[in-house]
Amino acid sequence: MGMSASQARLLYLTAQLNNLSLKGQKVSDAKIRLSMDTQAIQEKYINALNSTRLFLNTNIFSAEGSTKQSEYITLENLKSQGLLVSDGSKLLGYTSQKVPTGETDQILVGWEDDLTKPIYPTKVVEEEGFQAPSATASGDAAKMQTIVDATGLGTDDLEVQSYTTIINGEEVELNSIVIKSQEGFDAIYETLLTEGANGVVDNALQQNYVINTDTIDMSKYVSNGIAFFQGVFDGNGTTITGLSGTQGLFRDVYGTVKNVNIDGAQISAETDAIGGIAGYLGDGGLIENCNVTNVNITCNLQNKEYAEGYDSERAGVGGVVGYNNGSIRNTSVQGTINVPNADDSFGYIGGFIGANTNSEYGDPDNVIENCYSDVNIILGSGKNYSNSINGFIGDDTYEAIINNCISLGSITSKTGEPINGTDLANWGPVIESNVHNLIGLDTRNNNDVLYWEDSESPSYDTGSRTQPDSLRGETETLPDGSEIYVWLNPGTEGYDDQNQISAQNNNLPVLNLSGLQDSGLVKDGETEVPDPTQDPIGYQQKPIYQDVEVYEYKLVEDPNFKISSLALEEGLRSGAYTLVKESDEETTQTISINGVFYETISLSTCSVITDEAEAAAAQKAEAEYNKGMEEIQAKDKRYELDQKKIDTQYNAYLQEEESIKSVLNKNVERSFKTFG
């Protein structure tokens, strides 16, 4: 082979070697990529095995037993388990819709003359409230005169006289000891205290008394309460001040106490029945037309046995009476009750009554009617209570008849914080009696007004929060031209300026207690009364109503709302959505949507939802992994064969190149020798 042919072959071989080197590099690069693809397939497989979905697990019962059914969460299947989904302001899949209730309401549109109630001109008549004792009047005048004579006081202080009054809605004529001065009151009060302390119940404690002076000062006494009183005690509108001690004016009342005003009483005791007027109102007893203002009661009852008591270790503390077995009408109380050592076994605390004790429901001698309570109850340092603490009646297990009452006032710890309790009574006037027209404050919720028109065992769920606009602190003008507040008057003593017409028009309590008391006072002198013998000068006004349809907002399913199971799951996991279910009451775990309370449910504690691997997804991932690895192995095998071919060709070309280079070198040596 000549020199030129060898060199040409050598150049060819060099080119082929370079080409094979390039092919080998490409195969090497392909194997590196194949390794990266293998790692990606493995990571995808591991991620698929580790990923989970939210499943709703329900049990299916059949004749063969119970089986578990798991399916992706949806709004529909969550609803089947009583679960809804909220985004914080609304429920997913629902919309609020105004719908008619099928009921109508009456609105006031005007006034017209009531022809059945004419207004007559007035005439002046002489009134003689007190007269000589009457043989036909109730009460032993002779025995009363003996009591008066025993005091040694004259007729300027005490006198036995007859007068006519209203008791329990009926007109009665009474022989009574008329108390005309402070000295007269002191003498009678001390007589009653002495007889009660000695257990003498058939003399002064059974007689009738009426006060005919403006005020009575009791500041020189430490009141333990008049015991076993059985007669009639008529305050005749007198205000008693300076009362302090361990009890209100009475310890026990089995008779009638009426038209008494007690202002600024300071009561502090360890006894188990404490009230601003009486510790105990017995069967057949009556308190009516009385007002207790600025009362401050502190009960320091300890958890120990007491020698005497209506129920040991169970205190009955009320603004008017501690324990009630009688009737209370047209009566109000305003002030504070302090129970610094209240605990779960303490007893019964009520702004108006500590506890009802009459076990016969419907007893006409156990009625609470036209009454008003505005008492702040202050407990100890604790915040959790399960005993009966109530803005109106502490314990109402023994039910009464309750009509036309208002209960205000807060219930707090001594630091002013709202309390918690397992008994709803802890928060206000939740009682067991059947009521007609009851207003109370929900002290848990910014003192919202709740109203029950007719209810058996009223609760916060049945109390209405909807008030007519005319009752939201507004004023209105009456037919006589006067302008006063309506319903409850914020900033004043409620009942003082109660608008009777507005209250009646809205089926709300009539609580003009001052007017009720004034109408029952004994008066001497001239008074103006209607003269029906003359022609009417006008007529009282009666309201004109118009029926309007009542609507309410209800949640209805929104057919246009769509959300995938995966989007729902992502929202729940991220916290954008929350599981909720309807709740009967408001707690720290509830939210309010359109006036309905919903309890929030934690995703981690929801027993019907599980977070688990998806079997079908795992099987799919495994199949994809196996397929991908098979393809990679096939490619790897092909790359190995390609590399072997390249190596074989490369080695053959390399050997041939070495051989040609050797021949060329020998030819060069011979040429040097020949021409050398």
Higher pLDDT, 162 or 356: 162
Task: Identify which of 388, 223, 413 has the alpha carbon closest to the alpha carbon of residue 316.
Answer: 388
- Whether 489 and 500 have beta carbons less than 8 Å apart is answered as no
Higher pLDDT, 305 or 357: 357
Q: State the number of CA atoms in the 13 A half-sphere of 484 facing the CB.
A: 20
pLDDT tens string 316-355: 899 999 999 999 998 989 899 998 877 655 678 899 999 8
Query: How far lies 49's CA from each of 163, 264, 619, 669, in Å?
Result: 97, 77, 9, 73
Angle at 392 between CA 390 and CA 397, to 5 degrees: 70
What b-and-e string marks burial along 524-546, b requiring 16 or more CB atoms within 10 Å of the CB?
eeeeeeeeeeeeeeeeebbbeee
Across 141-157, average pLDDT: 96
How sure is the predictor about 441, in pLDDT bands with cuts at 50, 70 and 90? low
Higher pLDDT, 328 or 312: 328
Report pLDDT for 232.
98
Interacting residues of 156 by C-beta distance below 8 A, sequence separation 6+: 180, 181
What's phi and psi for 627, nearest 5 deg?
-65, -45
Pinpoint the alpha helices (H) of 575-676.
615-675
pLDDT tens string 474-533: 555 544 555 443 444 333 333 333 344 444 444 444 455 776 777 778 877 777 888 999
Across 360-382, average pLDDT: 80
Q: Is the dihedral of CA 655, 660, 664, 667 positive or negative?
A: positive
Beta bridge partners, 207, equal none
How sure is the predictor about 404, in pLDDT bands with cuts at 50, 70 and 90? confident
Interacting residues of 1 by C-beta distance below 8 A, sequence separation 6+: 9, 663
Helix (H) or strand (E) holding 18, with range, is: helix 3-50
Structure tokens at 456: 């058996």
- The answer on pLDDT for 194 being more than 70 is yes
Nearest-10 Cα torsion for 390, 396, 400, 406: 10
Report pLDDT for 275.
96
Query: For the purposes of burial, counting CB atoms within 10 Å of the CB of 655, is it exposed (0-12), middle (13-18) or buried (19 or more)?
Result: exposed
- The answer on pLDDT for 430 being more than 70 is no
Say how far apart CA 498 and CA 346 lie, in whole Å: 36
pLDDT tens string 45-92: 777 766 778 888 875 554 565 556 778 888 888 888 888 998 888 889
Say how far apart CA 379 and CA 419 lie, in whole Å: 9
The structure tokens 């006034």 sit at 111
Report pLDDT for 179.
97
Higher pLDDT, 673 or 240: 240
Report pLDDT for 615.
66
- Whether 318 and 279 have beta carbons less than 8 Å apart is answered as no
User: DSSP letter string over 145-177?
Assistant: HHHHHHHT--TTTEEEEEEEEEETTEEEEEEEE
Task: Identify which of 564, 613, 580 has the alpha carbon closest to the alpha carbon of residue 54.
Answer: 613
How sure is the predictor about 534, in pLDDT bands with cuts at 50, 70 and 90? very high
Helix, strand, or coil (residue 602) = coil
Helix, strand, or coil (residue 427) = helix
Say how far apart CA 552 and CA 564 lie, in whole Å: 31
Q: In Å, how far from its chain's centre is CA 578?
A: 23
Report pLDDT for 420.
62
Across 619-639, average pLDDT: 84
- Whether 342 and 376 have beta carbons less than 8 Å apart is answered as no
Report pLDDT for 468.
42
Task: Identify which of 522, 514, 483 has the alpha carbon closest to the alpha carbon of residue 370.
Answer: 514
pLDDT tens string 246-259: 999 999 999 999 99
Higher pLDDT, 608 or 424: 608
Helix, strand, or coil (residue 298) = strand
- The answer on pLDDT for 141 being more than 60 is yes
Report pLDDT for 510.
47
- The answer on pLDDT for 427 being more than 50 is no
Report pLDDT for 201.
85
Report pLDDT for 496.
35
- The answer on pLDDT for 313 being more than 60 is no
Nearest-10 Cα torsion for 562, 567, 571, 572: 100
- The answer on pLDDT for 191 being more than 90 is yes
Across 445-470, average pLDDT: 62
Q: What percentage of residues in the chain have a pLDDT greater than 90?
A: 29
Q: In what order do the strands lie in the sheet with 393-395?
A: 250-253, 278-281, 321-324, 353-356, 393-395
Q: What is the largest CA-CA distance in the chain?
A: 182
Whole-model pTM: value is 0.59
- The answer on pLDDT for 639 being more than 90 is no
Helix, strand, or coil (residue 110) = strand
Q: Which of 57-61, 237-241, 430-434, 515-519 has the least mean pLDDT?
A: 57-61
Say how far apart CA 547 and CA 10 lie, in whole Å: 116
Report pLDDT for 309.
41
What's phi and psi for 550, nearest 5 deg?
-95, 130
The mean predicted confidence, pLDDT, of the chain is 80
Higher pLDDT, 393 or 231: 231
Across 95-102, average pLDDT: 83
Task: Identify which of 283, 441, 276, 446 has the alpha carbon closest to the alpha carbon of residue 357.
Answer: 283
Say how far apart CA 276 and CA 321 lie, in whole Å: 6
Report pLDDT for 153.
96
Q: At 240, which amino acid appears?
A: I
Helix (H) or strand (E) holding 569, with range, is: helix 565-574
